[in-house]
Amino acid sequence: MKTIFIDRDGCVNVRLVGNWVMTWDDFEFMPGAIEGIALLKKAGYRLILVTNQRCINLGKFSLDGLNNLHSQMQDELKSEGGFFDKIYHCPHDRHENCGCRKPQAGMLLQAAKDFDDIDLRNSIMLGDQESDRLAAKAAEVGCFYQISHNQTIADAAKIILSSK
Ligand SMILES: [Mg+2]
Ligand SMILES: [Zn+2]
């Protein structure tokens, strides 16, 4: 199944300057995110969230808290027709040298192990940071779209769907 990897902070929700998004009150969807995710899901794509959350291993945020936040996000997305098929997070801090913190490719490679029909070269990644682009490149994901307030997930979705 054709798969799209999507970064969270700065793509799905607005990034908080100087802090992590740890409560539903602080979780503000980016413009075009809910719509774009619904468009891609209705078009039959598998959508996989890949997010660095070093707040976990820093002890700032619990895994339960992160899971709760993501289930609220999923509920909101589902009410508009979209959802993520799977969510991967990297809990590690920068110095831990894990293989999963973007720009490393670990979360994408793990997804390719977990879903045996993922073809990374034919997959797509949406991200707002250079580390997203580099992770996609390291995993040999074929296509990357930069997301910003000016090119939202909905904008990228329209390009992807029109070039199918
Ligand atoms: Mg981001
Ligand atoms: Zn990691």
Which domains can be identified in the chain, with CATH numbers? 1-38+51-117 (3.40.50.1000)
Residue 54 C-alpha to ligand 2 middle, in angstroms? Answer: 8
Sort residue 18 into left (φ over 0), alpha (ψ -120 to 50) or beta. left
CA–CA separation, 73 and 76 (whole Å): 5
Active site residues: 7, 9
86-99 tens-digit pLDDT: 999 999 999 999 99
Beta strands in 25-123 (DSSP E): 46-52, 86-90
7-46 tens-digit pLDDT: 999 999 999 988 999 999 999 999 999 999 999 999 999 9
Q: Which ligand is nearest to the CA of 33?
A: 1
Residue 126 C-alpha to ligand 2 middle, in angstroms? Answer: 19
> Is the whole-model pTM more than 0.85?
yes
* Residues in CB range of 83: below 8 A, 6 or more apart: 37, 41, 47, 74, 77
Q: Are strands 124-127 and 86-90 parallel, antiparallel or unpaired?
A: unpaired
CA–CA separation, 140 and 142 (whole Å): 6
Q: Which ligand is nearest to the CA of 126?
A: 1
CB 159 within 8 A of CB 152: no
Residue 132 C-alpha to ligand 2 middle, in angstroms? Answer: 14
47-61 tens-digit pLDDT: 999 999 999 999 999
CB 90 within 8 A of CB 135: no
Residue 52 C-alpha to ligand 1 middle, in angstroms? Answer: 8
63 pLDDT higher than 80:
yes
Residue 127 C-alpha to ligand 1 middle, in angstroms? Answer: 6
139-148 tens-digit pLDDT: 999 999 999 9
Q: Which ligand is nearest to the CA of 96?
A: 2
Residue 81 C-alpha to ligand 1 middle, in angstroms? Answer: 23
Name the maximum alpha-carbon separation found in the chain: 43
The 3-state DSSP class for residue 81 equals coil
Instruction: Give residue 51's pLDDT.
Output: 98
User: Token pair for residue 159?
Assistant: 């390009």
CA–CA separation, 85 and 3 (whole Å): 10
CB 160 within 8 A of CB 124: yes
Q: Which ligand is nearest to the CA of 90?
A: 2
